[in-house]
Structure 1
Amino acid sequence: MVTDAFSEPGDEAVAETVEEAVGSGDTVVVFATCEVDYDGRASGYLGPGDRVVIAKPDGTLLVHRPTGNDPVNWQPPGSTITADCDEDGCTITARRSSPDEVVRVHCREIHHVTRYAADDTAPLKLSGTERDMHEYILENPEEIDDGLRAVEHERETPYGIVDVFGTDPEGRPVVVEVKRRQATLTHVDQLKRYMAQYRESNPDARGILVAPAASDRVKRTLRDADLEFVALDEFATNRGDIASTTFDDFA
Protein backbone atom coordinates (compact mmCIF):
# COMPACT_ATOMS: atom_id res chain seq x y z
CA MET A 1 0.00 0.00 0.00
CA VAL A 2 1.31 3.47 -0.92
CA THR A 3 1.44 5.63 2.22
CA ASP A 4 2.99 8.80 0.73
CA ALA A 5 3.94 9.89 -2.79
CA PHE A 6 5.38 13.25 -3.83
CA SER A 7 6.48 14.61 -7.20
CA GLU A 8 9.20 17.27 -7.07
CA PRO A 9 9.20 17.20 -3.25
CA GLY A 10 11.23 19.52 -1.07
CA ASP A 11 14.33 18.27 0.72
CA GLU A 12 12.67 18.43 4.12
CA ALA A 13 9.72 16.36 2.89
CA VAL A 14 12.06 13.65 1.60
CA ALA A 15 14.08 13.52 4.81
CA GLU A 16 10.89 13.33 6.85
CA THR A 17 9.48 10.58 4.61
CA VAL A 18 12.64 8.49 4.95
CA GLU A 19 12.81 8.91 8.72
CA GLU A 20 9.13 8.05 9.15
CA ALA A 21 9.47 5.01 6.89
CA VAL A 22 12.44 3.72 8.87
CA GLY A 23 10.50 4.14 12.09
CA SER A 24 7.39 2.36 10.80
CA GLY A 25 9.07 -0.41 8.78
CA ASP A 26 8.10 0.89 5.34
CA THR A 27 10.00 0.91 2.04
CA VAL A 28 11.03 4.18 0.37
CA VAL A 29 11.85 4.70 -3.32
CA VAL A 30 13.52 7.98 -4.32
CA PHE A 31 14.14 9.12 -7.90
CA ALA A 32 16.87 11.73 -7.74
CA THR A 33 19.91 13.31 -9.32
CA CYS A 34 22.51 12.39 -6.74
CA GLU A 35 26.14 11.81 -5.84
CA VAL A 36 27.27 8.88 -3.70
CA ASP A 37 30.32 8.44 -1.49
CA TYR A 38 31.48 5.38 0.41
CA ASP A 39 33.87 5.07 3.35
CA GLY A 40 34.85 1.78 4.94
CA ARG A 41 37.09 -1.03 3.75
CA ALA A 42 38.06 1.35 0.96
CA SER A 43 36.71 4.70 -0.21
CA GLY A 44 34.82 5.65 -3.33
CA TYR A 45 32.90 8.42 -5.02
CA LEU A 46 30.19 8.28 -7.69
CA GLY A 47 29.59 11.56 -9.50
CA PRO A 48 26.22 13.18 -10.29
CA GLY A 49 23.65 11.11 -12.17
CA ASP A 50 19.95 10.24 -12.28
CA ARG A 51 19.37 7.20 -10.08
CA VAL A 52 16.84 5.22 -8.08
CA VAL A 53 17.49 4.96 -4.34
CA ILE A 54 15.66 2.24 -2.38
CA ALA A 55 15.63 2.06 1.42
CA LYS A 56 14.15 -1.17 2.82
CA PRO A 57 12.83 -1.83 6.32
CA ASP A 58 15.57 -4.41 7.04
CA GLY A 59 18.25 -1.74 6.64
CA THR A 60 19.14 -2.47 3.02
CA LEU A 61 20.04 0.54 0.88
CA LEU A 62 20.32 0.21 -2.91
CA VAL A 63 21.40 2.81 -5.48
CA HIS A 64 20.52 1.83 -9.06
CA ARG A 65 21.50 3.39 -12.37
CA PRO A 66 18.86 3.61 -15.14
CA THR A 67 20.34 0.45 -16.71
CA GLY A 68 21.62 -2.86 -15.38
CA ASN A 69 20.25 -5.23 -12.75
CA ASP A 70 22.86 -4.72 -10.01
CA PRO A 71 23.06 -1.69 -7.71
CA VAL A 72 26.03 0.59 -8.29
CA ASN A 73 26.27 1.19 -4.53
CA TRP A 74 24.57 -0.56 -1.64
CA GLN A 75 24.52 -1.42 2.04
CA PRO A 76 23.28 -4.81 3.26
CA PRO A 77 20.50 -5.66 5.71
CA GLY A 78 21.19 -4.51 9.26
CA SER A 79 22.40 -1.05 8.32
CA THR A 80 21.05 2.04 10.05
CA ILE A 81 19.39 4.41 7.57
CA THR A 82 18.95 8.11 8.33
CA ALA A 83 18.21 11.28 6.35
CA ASP A 84 19.00 14.94 6.97
CA CYS A 85 19.15 18.22 5.08
CA ASP A 86 21.56 21.13 4.71
CA GLU A 87 21.99 23.99 2.27
CA ASP A 88 23.18 21.56 -0.44
CA GLY A 89 20.15 19.24 -0.28
CA CYS A 90 19.01 16.01 1.35
CA THR A 91 21.46 13.25 2.26
CA ILE A 92 20.38 9.64 2.84
CA THR A 93 22.92 7.72 4.91
CA ALA A 94 23.26 3.97 5.52
CA ARG A 95 25.80 2.95 8.16
CA ARG A 96 26.86 -0.36 9.66
CA SER A 97 29.43 -1.18 12.32
CA SER A 98 30.75 -4.62 11.38
CA PRO A 99 32.65 -3.80 9.29
CA ASP A 100 32.57 -0.05 9.93
CA GLU A 101 31.37 1.49 6.66
CA VAL A 102 28.96 4.12 5.45
CA VAL A 103 27.25 5.04 2.17
CA ARG A 104 25.97 8.59 1.75
CA VAL A 105 23.59 9.52 -1.06
CA HIS A 106 23.65 13.28 -1.62
CA CYS A 107 20.41 14.15 -3.43
CA ARG A 108 20.94 17.33 -5.45
CA GLU A 109 17.59 17.28 -7.25
CA ILE A 110 14.73 15.05 -6.14
CA HIS A 111 12.13 14.17 -8.77
CA HIS A 112 9.85 11.76 -6.90
CA VAL A 113 9.60 9.92 -3.59
CA THR A 114 7.22 7.13 -2.66
CA ARG A 115 6.75 5.40 0.67
CA TYR A 116 5.25 1.91 0.68
CA ALA A 117 3.83 -0.18 3.48
CA ALA A 118 4.85 -3.30 1.59
CA ASP A 119 3.96 -6.88 2.50
CA ASP A 120 5.63 -9.85 0.77
CA THR A 121 5.95 -13.16 2.59
CA ALA A 122 5.55 -15.53 -0.37
CA PRO A 123 8.30 -18.18 -0.55
CA LEU A 124 10.67 -18.17 -3.52
CA LYS A 125 10.50 -21.43 -5.45
CA LEU A 126 13.53 -22.01 -7.66
CA SER A 127 13.91 -24.48 -10.45
CA GLY A 128 17.28 -24.93 -12.00
CA THR A 129 20.56 -25.77 -10.31
CA GLU A 130 24.24 -25.82 -11.13
CA ARG A 131 23.67 -29.42 -12.23
CA ASP A 132 21.12 -28.12 -14.76
CA MET A 133 23.77 -25.75 -16.11
CA HIS A 134 26.22 -28.65 -16.45
CA GLU A 135 23.68 -30.68 -18.40
CA TYR A 136 22.82 -27.72 -20.61
CA ILE A 137 26.50 -27.19 -21.46
CA LEU A 138 27.06 -30.88 -22.15
CA GLU A 139 24.06 -30.90 -24.51
CA ASN A 140 24.82 -27.49 -26.07
CA PRO A 141 28.62 -26.96 -25.96
CA GLU A 142 28.36 -24.54 -28.89
CA GLU A 143 26.67 -22.08 -26.51
CA ILE A 144 30.00 -21.80 -24.70
CA ASP A 145 32.24 -21.72 -27.77
CA ASP A 146 31.74 -22.50 -31.45
CA GLY A 147 33.12 -25.96 -32.17
CA LEU A 148 33.66 -26.88 -28.52
CA ARG A 149 33.55 -30.64 -27.93
CA ALA A 150 32.71 -31.73 -24.39
CA VAL A 151 34.99 -34.68 -23.56
CA GLU A 152 34.49 -35.30 -19.86
CA HIS A 153 32.13 -34.21 -17.10
CA GLU A 154 33.54 -33.56 -13.59
CA ARG A 155 37.14 -34.54 -14.30
CA GLU A 156 39.22 -34.98 -11.14
CA THR A 157 42.47 -33.00 -10.86
CA PRO A 158 44.95 -32.39 -8.01
CA TYR A 159 43.24 -29.00 -7.56
CA GLY A 160 39.68 -30.26 -7.46
CA ILE A 161 37.00 -31.38 -9.88
CA VAL A 162 36.75 -29.62 -13.25
CA ASP A 163 33.09 -29.21 -14.20
CA VAL A 164 33.50 -29.75 -17.94
CA PHE A 165 36.65 -30.66 -19.86
CA GLY A 166 36.70 -30.38 -23.63
CA THR A 167 38.64 -29.43 -26.73
CA ASP A 168 38.18 -26.62 -29.24
CA PRO A 169 38.41 -26.92 -33.06
CA GLU A 170 42.16 -26.31 -32.89
CA GLY A 171 42.64 -29.22 -30.50
CA ARG A 172 43.41 -27.07 -27.47
CA PRO A 173 42.24 -28.32 -24.06
CA VAL A 174 39.34 -26.29 -22.65
CA VAL A 175 38.54 -26.20 -18.93
CA VAL A 176 35.02 -24.97 -18.17
CA GLU A 177 34.21 -23.92 -14.61
CA VAL A 178 30.47 -23.40 -13.96
CA LYS A 179 28.94 -21.18 -11.28
CA ARG A 180 25.23 -20.99 -10.51
CA ARG A 181 25.43 -17.46 -9.16
CA GLN A 182 27.20 -14.31 -10.28
CA ALA A 183 30.91 -14.89 -10.84
CA THR A 184 33.30 -13.54 -8.19
CA LEU A 185 37.04 -13.07 -7.83
CA THR A 186 37.11 -16.23 -5.71
CA HIS A 187 35.76 -18.17 -8.69
CA VAL A 188 38.48 -16.63 -10.86
CA ASP A 189 41.14 -17.83 -8.41
CA GLN A 190 39.67 -21.33 -8.53
CA LEU A 191 39.86 -21.44 -12.32
CA LYS A 192 43.42 -20.09 -12.25
CA ARG A 193 44.47 -22.99 -10.00
CA TYR A 194 43.01 -25.49 -12.47
CA MET A 195 44.74 -23.78 -15.38
CA ALA A 196 48.12 -23.85 -13.65
CA GLN A 197 48.05 -27.64 -14.06
CA TYR A 198 46.94 -27.76 -17.68
CA ARG A 199 49.23 -25.00 -18.86
CA GLU A 200 52.30 -26.76 -17.49
CA SER A 201 52.02 -29.28 -20.34
CA ASN A 202 50.02 -27.17 -22.80
CA PRO A 203 50.49 -23.38 -22.57
CA ASP A 204 47.65 -22.92 -25.09
CA ALA A 205 45.03 -24.54 -22.82
CA ARG A 206 41.95 -22.35 -22.44
CA GLY A 207 39.99 -21.67 -19.28
CA ILE A 208 36.37 -20.46 -19.40
CA LEU A 209 34.32 -19.32 -16.42
CA VAL A 210 30.56 -19.72 -17.03
CA ALA A 211 27.98 -17.96 -14.85
CA PRO A 212 24.75 -15.97 -15.22
CA ALA A 213 26.71 -12.70 -14.95
CA ALA A 214 29.99 -11.11 -13.82
CA SER A 215 31.12 -7.64 -12.82
CA ASP A 216 33.50 -5.62 -14.98
CA ARG A 217 36.27 -6.22 -12.44
CA VAL A 218 35.83 -9.99 -12.62
CA LYS A 219 35.91 -9.91 -16.42
CA ARG A 220 39.00 -7.69 -16.35
CA THR A 221 40.79 -10.05 -13.95
CA LEU A 222 39.97 -13.00 -16.20
CA ARG A 223 41.36 -11.21 -19.25
CA ASP A 224 44.55 -10.34 -17.37
CA ALA A 225 45.03 -14.05 -16.61
CA ASP A 226 44.31 -15.00 -20.26
CA LEU A 227 41.01 -16.59 -19.23
CA GLU A 228 37.51 -16.17 -20.66
CA PHE A 229 33.99 -15.51 -19.44
CA VAL A 230 30.69 -16.71 -20.92
CA ALA A 231 27.33 -15.55 -19.53
CA LEU A 232 24.38 -17.95 -19.65
CA ASP A 233 21.78 -15.20 -19.40
CA GLU A 234 18.79 -17.50 -19.36
CA PHE A 235 19.89 -18.95 -16.02
CA ALA A 236 19.73 -15.44 -14.58
CA THR A 237 16.54 -14.25 -16.30
CA ASN A 238 14.46 -17.35 -15.72
CA ARG A 239 15.57 -18.15 -12.18
CA GLY A 240 16.32 -14.71 -10.77
CA ASP A 241 19.18 -16.02 -8.67
CA ILE A 242 22.14 -13.67 -9.08
CA ALA A 243 24.02 -12.86 -5.91
CA SER A 244 24.67 -9.23 -5.04
CA THR A 245 28.02 -7.79 -6.00
CA THR A 246 30.44 -6.46 -3.41
CA PHE A 247 32.19 -3.11 -3.19
CA ASP A 248 35.33 -4.83 -4.48
CA ASP A 249 33.50 -5.50 -7.74
CA PHE A 250 32.79 -1.78 -8.29
CA ALA A 251 36.48 -0.95 -8.66
Structure 2
Amino acid sequence: MRIVERPSPQEALEGVQEALRKGYVLVLAGRCSVNYSGRASSRLGLGDRVVIYKPDGSLLVHRPAGYEPVNWMPAGSYLTALNEEGLCLRALRRKPFEELKVTFEQVYFAAAGLLIDEEEFFLYATEEEMKRAVELRPSLIEPGFKLYSREKRLQLT
Protein backbone atom coordinates (compact mmCIF):
# COMPACT_ATOMS: atom_id res chain seq x y z
CA MET A 1 0.00 0.00 0.00
CA ARG A 2 1.41 3.37 -0.98
CA ILE A 3 0.26 6.46 0.91
CA VAL A 4 1.21 10.02 -0.04
CA GLU A 5 0.34 13.01 2.16
CA ARG A 6 -0.46 16.36 0.55
CA PRO A 7 0.71 15.48 -2.96
CA SER A 8 1.03 18.23 -5.56
CA PRO A 9 -1.62 18.13 -8.31
CA GLN A 10 0.94 16.51 -10.64
CA GLU A 11 1.99 13.91 -8.02
CA ALA A 12 -1.67 13.11 -7.33
CA LEU A 13 -2.39 12.74 -11.06
CA GLU A 14 0.59 10.43 -11.60
CA GLY A 15 -0.33 8.35 -8.53
CA VAL A 16 -3.94 7.94 -9.68
CA GLN A 17 -2.88 7.02 -13.21
CA GLU A 18 -0.45 4.41 -11.84
CA ALA A 19 -3.17 2.97 -9.57
CA LEU A 20 -5.55 2.71 -12.54
CA ARG A 21 -2.92 0.98 -14.70
CA LYS A 22 -2.15 -1.54 -11.94
CA GLY A 23 -5.78 -2.24 -10.99
CA TYR A 24 -5.38 -0.93 -7.44
CA VAL A 25 -7.98 0.27 -4.98
CA LEU A 26 -7.62 4.04 -4.64
CA VAL A 27 -8.60 6.21 -1.67
CA LEU A 28 -8.32 9.99 -1.81
CA ALA A 29 -9.22 12.54 0.83
CA GLY A 30 -9.35 16.20 -0.02
CA ARG A 31 -11.28 19.35 -0.79
CA CYS A 32 -13.30 18.75 -3.93
CA SER A 33 -16.44 19.56 -5.87
CA VAL A 34 -18.67 16.97 -7.53
CA ASN A 35 -20.84 17.15 -10.66
CA TYR A 36 -23.09 14.35 -11.89
CA SER A 37 -25.13 14.09 -15.06
CA GLY A 38 -27.05 11.15 -16.38
CA ARG A 39 -30.42 9.79 -15.25
CA ALA A 40 -30.63 12.95 -13.11
CA SER A 41 -28.15 15.72 -12.37
CA SER A 42 -26.51 17.04 -9.23
CA ARG A 43 -23.88 19.50 -8.14
CA LEU A 44 -21.97 19.55 -4.87
CA GLY A 45 -19.75 22.56 -4.12
CA LEU A 46 -16.35 22.49 -2.48
CA GLY A 47 -16.04 20.43 0.68
CA ASP A 48 -13.86 17.86 2.40
CA ARG A 49 -14.65 14.40 1.05
CA VAL A 50 -13.31 10.85 0.83
CA VAL A 51 -13.33 9.33 -2.66
CA ILE A 52 -12.94 5.58 -3.16
CA TYR A 53 -12.32 3.93 -6.52
CA LYS A 54 -12.41 0.14 -6.87
CA PRO A 55 -10.93 -1.89 -9.73
CA ASP A 56 -14.42 -3.08 -10.76
CA GLY A 57 -15.10 0.53 -11.84
CA SER A 58 -17.21 1.65 -8.89
CA LEU A 59 -16.56 5.13 -7.53
CA LEU A 60 -17.90 6.42 -4.19
CA VAL A 61 -17.87 9.98 -2.85
CA HIS A 62 -18.37 10.26 0.91
CA ARG A 63 -18.93 13.28 3.12
CA PRO A 64 -17.38 13.42 6.61
CA ALA A 65 -20.58 12.03 8.20
CA GLY A 66 -22.92 9.19 7.31
CA TYR A 67 -22.25 5.79 5.81
CA GLU A 68 -23.89 6.25 2.42
CA PRO A 69 -22.05 7.96 -0.43
CA VAL A 70 -23.39 11.34 -1.49
CA ASN A 71 -22.58 10.42 -5.12
CA TRP A 72 -21.48 7.16 -6.68
CA MET A 73 -21.00 5.27 -9.90
CA PRO A 74 -21.63 1.53 -10.19
CA ALA A 75 -19.21 -1.22 -11.16
CA GLY A 76 -18.44 -1.13 -14.86
CA SER A 77 -17.75 2.60 -14.98
CA TYR A 78 -14.59 3.83 -16.70
CA LEU A 79 -12.36 6.25 -14.77
CA THR A 80 -9.91 8.75 -16.22
CA ALA A 81 -7.73 11.25 -14.38
CA LEU A 82 -6.80 14.67 -15.73
CA ASN A 83 -5.18 17.85 -14.50
CA GLU A 84 -7.84 20.57 -14.82
CA GLU A 85 -6.97 23.29 -12.31
CA GLY A 86 -6.23 20.44 -9.92
CA LEU A 87 -6.76 16.70 -10.02
CA CYS A 88 -9.97 15.77 -11.83
CA LEU A 89 -11.47 12.27 -11.78
CA ARG A 90 -14.04 11.56 -14.47
CA ALA A 91 -16.10 8.37 -14.27
CA LEU A 92 -18.21 7.42 -17.30
CA ARG A 93 -20.87 4.82 -17.85
CA ARG A 94 -22.25 4.18 -21.33
CA LYS A 95 -25.66 2.51 -20.74
CA PRO A 96 -27.41 4.32 -19.32
CA PHE A 97 -25.14 7.30 -19.91
CA GLU A 98 -23.82 8.75 -16.67
CA GLU A 99 -20.86 10.96 -15.83
CA LEU A 100 -19.46 11.79 -12.40
CA LYS A 101 -16.73 14.40 -12.23
CA VAL A 102 -14.77 15.00 -9.01
CA THR A 103 -12.43 18.01 -9.08
CA PHE A 104 -9.94 18.37 -6.24
CA GLU A 105 -8.82 21.80 -5.12
CA GLN A 106 -6.46 20.06 -2.70
CA VAL A 107 -5.61 16.41 -2.01
CA TYR A 108 -4.89 15.75 1.68
CA PHE A 109 -3.76 12.18 1.12
CA ALA A 110 -3.83 9.49 -1.53
CA ALA A 111 -3.57 5.76 -0.85
CA ALA A 112 -3.38 3.03 -3.46
CA GLY A 113 -2.70 -0.66 -3.34
CA LEU A 114 -3.79 -4.14 -4.23
CA LEU A 115 -6.48 -5.55 -1.96
CA ILE A 116 -7.38 -9.23 -2.17
CA ASP A 117 -10.62 -10.64 -0.79
CA GLU A 118 -11.63 -14.04 -2.11
CA GLU A 119 -13.97 -15.07 0.71
CA GLU A 120 -17.64 -15.74 0.09
CA PHE A 121 -20.14 -13.60 2.00
CA PHE A 122 -22.90 -15.41 3.88
CA LEU A 123 -25.97 -13.55 5.16
CA TYR A 124 -27.87 -15.79 7.52
CA ALA A 125 -30.92 -13.69 8.27
CA THR A 126 -32.07 -10.16 7.71
CA GLU A 127 -33.58 -8.06 10.47
CA GLU A 128 -36.99 -8.42 8.83
CA GLU A 129 -36.66 -12.23 8.74
CA MET A 130 -35.67 -12.36 12.42
CA LYS A 131 -38.60 -10.14 13.37
CA ARG A 132 -41.00 -12.37 11.44
CA ALA A 133 -39.56 -15.52 13.07
CA VAL A 134 -40.14 -14.07 16.56
CA GLU A 135 -43.69 -13.07 15.62
CA LEU A 136 -44.42 -16.62 14.45
CA ARG A 137 -42.64 -18.36 17.36
CA PRO A 138 -42.12 -16.04 20.37
CA SER A 139 -40.68 -18.98 22.33
CA LEU A 140 -37.51 -18.57 20.23
CA ILE A 141 -36.61 -15.75 22.65
CA GLU A 142 -37.34 -17.91 25.71
CA PRO A 143 -40.04 -20.37 26.81
CA GLY A 144 -43.23 -18.52 27.76
CA PHE A 145 -42.25 -15.27 26.01
CA LYS A 146 -45.32 -13.43 24.70
CA LEU A 147 -45.42 -10.75 22.04
CA TYR A 148 -47.61 -7.83 23.15
CA SER A 149 -47.05 -5.33 20.36
CA ARG A 150 -45.34 -4.82 17.03
CA GLU A 151 -43.40 -1.93 15.59
CA LYS A 152 -45.62 0.56 13.86
CA ARG A 153 -44.55 2.08 10.58
CA LEU A 154 -44.95 5.83 10.67
CA GLN A 155 -45.75 8.00 7.69
CA LEU A 156 -43.41 10.96 7.75
CA THR A 157 -44.72 14.06 6.05
**Which category of TM-score, normalised to the shorter sequence, fits these structures?**
0.7 to 0.9
**Percent identity over the alignment?**
37
Equivalent of 2:156, from 204, 207, 223? 223
Equivalent of 1:128, from 125, 128, 143? 125
Deviation (angstroms), 1:133: 2.9
Deviation (angstroms), 1:136: 4.4
Given the alignment of the two structures, is residue 19 of structure 1 paired with residue 23 of structure 2, yes or no?
no
The answer to whether the 8 Å contact 1:25/1:117 transfers is: yes
The answer to whether the 8 Å contact 1:36/1:47 transfers is: yes
Equivalent residues, number? 147
Structure 1 outlier segments of 4+, above 3 Å: 136-143
Q: Normalized per residue, which structure has more helix?
A: 1
Which stretches in structure 1 are left out of the alignment for 5+ residues? 146-207, 210-221, 225-251
Which stretches in structure 2 are left out of the alignment for 5+ residues? 139-146
Matches within 5 A, 1:1-251: 2=1, 4-86=2-84, 88-129=85-126, 130-136=128-134, 144-145=151-152, 208=153, 222-224=155-157
Deviation per residue, 1:1-21 (Å, 9 max, x gap): x0x211000111112222221
Give the alignment's Cα RMSD to 1 decimal: 1.9
TM-score, length of structure 2 as denominator length? 0.85
- Higher relative contact order by CA 8 Å / sep ≥ 6: 1 or 2? 2
Distance in 1 separating the partners of 2:16 and 2:52? 10
SS in structure 2 at match of 1:223: coil
TM-score, length of structure 1 as denominator length? 0.55
Write the letter of the residue equivalent to 1:144. E
